[in-house]
Amino acid sequence: MKAWRVVVIALSCLLLSGCLVTFKEPLPDSDPAPKGLLGKWTSTNAWGEPMNLELTRLGNNRYQAVSYFRARPREREAYPFTVSHHGDRWYLSAKVPAQFGGHFTIAGFELTEKHELVVYNLDLEQINQALGQNVLTGEGFQTRDGDGVLIDTRMDQVFKYLDDPANSDVFVEAVRYQRLAKAK
């Protein structure tokens, strides 16, 4: 699996069928992570491979996601990220690798009552509709793994769009993690 896909799945960040939504700017503010976010998580990817995710604090409101497949625990990818609480949603932001523009990706996430971490991608089709309606501005790009879009709208306008309840369908579930049980 390509390293950038691990990033996106791990943070969510943001791959769904090879589609990537990126932003010229990172999240404008970073907040402390919500209680319960940090720690070890587990999931199974679309190919049935068990994978682990470790979320740790790097410093003041900076965090790191380390993702690896259980079958290959030494093959780890680590990516720094920040979180922000805006409106009713939690967001995370991470830098995209240079081969995909080196900009920033944004995902939504929530911690459920069942103690799951659910990560939401931005739906490329919905974002393209917003571009067509001039709600957001940006341009499409191609990678060997699929289509993408780079949004250059100011982040306050992006959040105005994302926080509007009429646009709740812009988020699609990308991955659902369960808390990794401690070994006995």
Listed residue (86, 129, 80) closest to 105, CA to CA = 80
Q: What averages of pLDDT result for each successive group of 10 residues across the chain (184 residues)?
A: 43 45 86 94 88 93 91 86 89 85 90 94 94 94 81 93 90 92 60
Q: What distance lies between CA 149 and its chain's CA centroid?
A: 15
| pLDDT for residue 11 | 44
Q: Name the token pair of 103.
A: 């900009």
Which pLDDT belongs to residue 2? 45
> How many helices (H) and strands (E) would you count in the chain?
3, 11
According to the model, what pLDDT value does residue 19 have? 62
Collect all residues with Cβ–Cβ distance below 8 Å to 2 and sequence separation of at least 6.
145
* C-alpha R_g of the chain: 16
**Number of neighbouring beta carbons within 10 Å of residue 32:** 12
What is the residue type of 4? W
Q: Specify the pLDDT at position 148.
A: 86
